[in-house]
Structure 1
Amino acid sequence: MQYENIKMAHFIVRDNRFICHCQLIETGEVVIVHVKNTGRGKEVLLKGALVALHYQPSPKRKTDYDLIAVKKAEMWINIDSQLPNKLAYEGILTGKIKLPHFPGKLASLKREVTYGNSKFDLFATSDTNAAAFIEVKGMTLENKGVGAFPDAPTLRGLKHVKELQAAFHAGYYAYILFIVQFEQISQATIHTAMQPQLAENFTLAIADGVEVLAYNCKVEPNQVTVKGQVPFDVTYPFVDPN
């Protein structure tokens, strides 16, 4: 994923879930910025933090800037919540992202397909007539090389895990794919302390046959590339940095 017209800035303050103020490094101007992630991001959105803004001026927009990445120590973390689905789609199509145990060769890959009461991000079929639902989640929370999801409670996530279990029992292959929006990670897990019920649901789903995958990314201010698979363990302990 390549971004055009990136402007570097320093983060000032987050007004609410959707809006923050940043100071452009080039001009010193303080601008209103759309935050492309409704997660809390408390550990990275700190006053003075170096951030990357996507400049997209338009009379139809309330602001000309989107906050897409923030630098944490020496590592860039992409926080664009629309990015994981794009990377997952392209990664599966090109074979960069593998679906374990999915038989045959990929025949089709569709976006946003409804099953039961949920709309899953991707639906794959193979040349052996196998079919799979894939739910994609972005992971932006990190501490000491461990990545965790979520950084805020998610009712939608609870619902999707249960629906994937139902799909698996109905004969579909079922996957949850985490796109880790940073590079330096040794282990991916569920933030149990944030949402114990989600961890429990993941444990039950995995025991049933739902497969959980995590792929990290090489992140630069203007570019994000899927790098490779990283270990996922729902029981691995995570210490919240906030």
Structure 2
Amino acid sequence: MKYNKIVKGTFISRPNRFLAKVLIDTKVHVVHVKNTGRCRELLIEGATVYLEDFKDNLRNRKTRFSLVAVEKIIVRNGKEKVLLVNMDSQITNKVAGEAFENGAIILPNFDKGYYNIRTEKTFGDSRFDFYIEGARKDRNSKEEEQIRAYVEIKSCTLEENGCAKFPDAPTQRGVKHIRELCGAVKKGYLAYVIFIIQMKEVSNFKPNDVLHPEFGIALREAQKYGVNILAYDCINTEDSIRVDKPVKVIL
């Protein structure tokens, strides 16, 4: 997934969840933040940020720029390094969709591939990010078994000492989605939660039990119920992001 035009800036402050003040060249701009999470460990005064510039396509926008990525200083093997973190939570569904299409994400059980991928599909009281139809080998015959699945995508930007964590703010909506996926399994569907970790330099993923214990409980119960829990990291540049490799999930 590529952005159109990216400019570099310096983060100053975040008046609310949706807006930030950023110094671009010599002028302070109020910009849109494409992530409503807390992001406190990322949006630090003086941090280098990257913004999508909509100067040539403003339409009804109230701000010219959207903040999409930030440089985070991390320590690995006793040395500091710069980690580029994409924090655009609105892009992860597109990134996941591309990964389904190009084979970067191969869902367990779909060994014969996908033949129908739909977005924003409703089940029960929830709307899931993807509904996927495909096929796998039937265990009892040489025939192909048709399978159907609901997939929920979660945007993950929180990293602590190489461990990716979700959420970075309490999410009752996330808990609801997890429990609804259990309902889909009960009805005969396959179900998946995929955490798109919007950076490299992570070795594993864990639910953020300290911040929101209920989410971690729901995730563990879902796994026992048959919901597949997956995580993938991403390769970022200043103007692009793509899914790269699976990350170990520790529950």
- Normalised by the length of structure 1, the TM-score is 0.94
- Residue 167 of structure 1 is matched in structure 2 by 184
For 2:158, the equivalent position in structure 1 comes to: 141
Q: Which residue of 2 aligns with 1:43?
A: 41
Task: Provide, for residues 177-203 of structure 1, a one-character-per-residue CA deviation record: whole Å limited to 9, x for no partner.
Answer: 111001110011100011111111111
Look up the match of 1:199.
216
2:203 pairs with one of 181, 186, 194: 186
Structure 2 unaligned blocks of 5 or more: 74-81, 136-144
SS in 1 for 2:146: coil
Q: Aligned partners of 2:22, 2:152: CA distance in 1, in Å?
A: 33
In proportion to residue count, which structure has more strand?
2
CA contact (8 A) 1:139 1:149 kept: yes
| From 226, 229, 237, the counterpart of 1:209 | 226
Gaps of 5+ in 1: 235-242
Q: Output aligned runs, 1:120-159, within 5 Å.
A: 120-127=128-135, 128-159=145-176
Counterparts of 1:17 and 1:132, CA distance in 2: 33
In 2: Cα distance, 1:60 partner to 1:105 partner: 40
How big is the shift at 1:83?
1.2
Alignment length (residue pairs): 232
Distance 1:149 1:125, change over 3 A: same
SS of aligned partner of 2:177: helix
- Which secondary structure does the structure 2 equivalent of 1:72 belong to? strand
Q: Deviation of residue 103 (structure 1)?
A: 5.1
Match of residue 82, structure 1, among 82, 87, 90 = 90
Checking the alignment, whether the CA contact within 8 Å between 1:93 and 1:109 is kept in structure 2 is no
- The C-alpha deviation readout for 1:142-173, integer Å capped at 9, x for no partner, is 01100000000001101000000010111000
Name the amino acid aligned to 1:117: D
Which range is displaced more, 205-214 or 53-62? 53-62
Superposed displacement of residue 104, structure 1: 2.9
C-alpha deviations, 1:117-137, integer Å up to 9, x for none?
Answer: 000000000143210000000
Tell whether 2:47 aligns with 1:30: no
Structure number with bigger Rg: 2
Residue 67 of structure 1 aligns with which residue?
A: 67
Provide Cα deviations, 1:189-232, integer angstroms capped at 9, x if missing partner. 10001111111111111011100110100112111121110101
Q: Which one of 102, 108, 124 corresponds to residue 116 of structure 1?
A: 124
Q: Percent identity?
A: 38
1:136, 1:3 → 2: CA distance? 20
Runs of at least 4 residues of structure 1 off by over 6 A? none
